[in-house]
Amino acid sequence: LINCYYISYLILSYLILFYTDNMDTIRDKYDVVTASFVSQPRPREESKALLRKFRDNLKSSFDELSNAVREDFNKPELEFYVAEYAPAIGELTNILNNLDTILSSSKNVDSIPITFSTLSTEIEKSPLGTILIISPFNYPLILAVSPLIGAIASGNNVVLKLPYDQLPNFSNALKLVIDNSFPQDQVLVVNGGIEESQFLLNDCKFDKIFFTGSTNVGKIVYKAAAEKLTPVVLELGGKSPVFISKNIDISSLEKLLKRLLWGKFTNAGQTCVAPDYLLIDSSVYDKVLNIIFKIFKSDFANVNKSDEFSHIVNERGFNRLSQILQETKGDILSGDNKSDKDSLFFSPTIVSNIDWNDSLMQSEIFGPILPIMKYNSSLTDIVKKVASIHDTPLAAYLFSSSDNDLKTLQKYLRCGGIVANDALWTAGCFITPFGGIGTSGFGNYHSKWTIDTFTHERAVLKQPLWAESLISSRYFPYTKENLKALKLVSSLPEIPIATLKNLAYLLSIFAIGFFLGKYFS
């Protein structure tokens, strides 16, 4: 017994030593990255060269990355390409093509107060410093690469924490690509799990934290950041509703519902903007439901664990989905091939005839289960109902041919983004901002907006010496005459810069036309 205790003590001591050494190594590398930002600020052209190299390395690593993520949770190659790889390459190219314009100093204003008319004003975007990015498992390439390239393009250094505890193969593959693309004193990739995340959050100081994940973990990240007054971007989730109104295009119903089911079952529903539940107007309910069942039986009912269909990433997620499905009071339509816990394959499932109290309606599903409800009220009323129960989802979807229906969602529902007649595009369209609101997070990113997120807009003002006579009324001794002069200046209307520019443009066109007319007459 004593020997057993002694052996256990040695093993425990070894594990503690290993953990401490690992954290010490991370700390040493973190110190190098943060010091490098201060001592060697990276010029814009160097950032662009690094991003071009990273793009080249990504292009040559598709097979390795795709095979790795397949090993981790059976993510199909086509799905990996469409939802992650192609958007990553596309956003990289878009940033490189537009970086000079995005980072250019701004001077344009429509009007300016007389008080500031002597100042030369410039607003420049300066990098924040060292950024911590904590990326999730569900879209491990794009949700790591998208914030990374924006941070690098902005001139920042980065510490990127990958989900090695859940995706060891992919994390190792992506780490290799990144390590071969960026200097180690500018980008540090940390493979690990909860312990590494806690160490980075609690023992290191960053200039901004970018987190993608669950709401519960987002709260932990936010609390840790608040202790050090570190600004954060939180990309969370929520129950993203789908509204099918009576104004849906009946002639195109099968095409529209095929889009909807693709969006739901992509990545086995493990998508932060996945259609979470479906609300169908009673007047089209039977027709819509029949076609949904038809598409489901054709495309998804025969899917099995060996097919091109993502698996659930871990046993905890599988058990959670199994539990809420067991507790539902709705009518279950599942595939012929049942879920398999050993492989973590969860069969695509549709559940109709549910109500707001159902087990499937209590929290974000984050899996291949689609609950369906009928509504008898107006679209406005059901949107208000959603807003009162599941406020601020990350996305909302509308299937309708009516612009008024779309305006109803825009007016009454707060959400991260809205898509009409398709699914998932709020996250996939990198030429528009993406981000949550309220419980679904805060802060935007994608291309230009990622750079805005990772830069500080800094004012640079210059006062010319010739303006001394115009600003001298502010000096001591204070007199009533000076106060009167200052009040007069403050009461004058702003100088309409934009109007004057347009007027000057029109006058120049008129002058050119006048002289040309004189010359040729």
3-state secondary structure of 431: coil
What residues contact residue 349 under an 8 Å CB cut-off, 6+ apart?
325, 332, 333, 334, 335, 368, 369, 370
Q: Bridge-partner residues for 237, per DSSP?
A: none
d(CA 160, CA 21): 19
474 DSSP assignment? G
Rounded distance between C-alpha atoms, residue 83 and residue 93, angstroms: 16
- The set of residues, in sequence order, having a beta carbon less than 8 Å from that of 214 and lying 6+ positions away, is 236, 237
Continuous segment of H or E residues that includes residue 258: helix 253-265
* Joined tokens for residue 349: 């499932």
Are 423 and 264 in contact, with CB atoms under 8 Å apart? yes
CA proximity to 231, closest of 260, 211, 217, 202: 211
Helices and strands (H, E) in the chain, number of each type: 19, 15
| 63: three-class secondary structure by DSSP | helix
- Cβ–Cβ under 8 Å, residues 164 and 148: no
Which residues does the annotation mark as catalytic?
235, 272
Contact 360, 354 (CB under 8 A): yes
The residue assigned the tokens 């593959």 is: 173
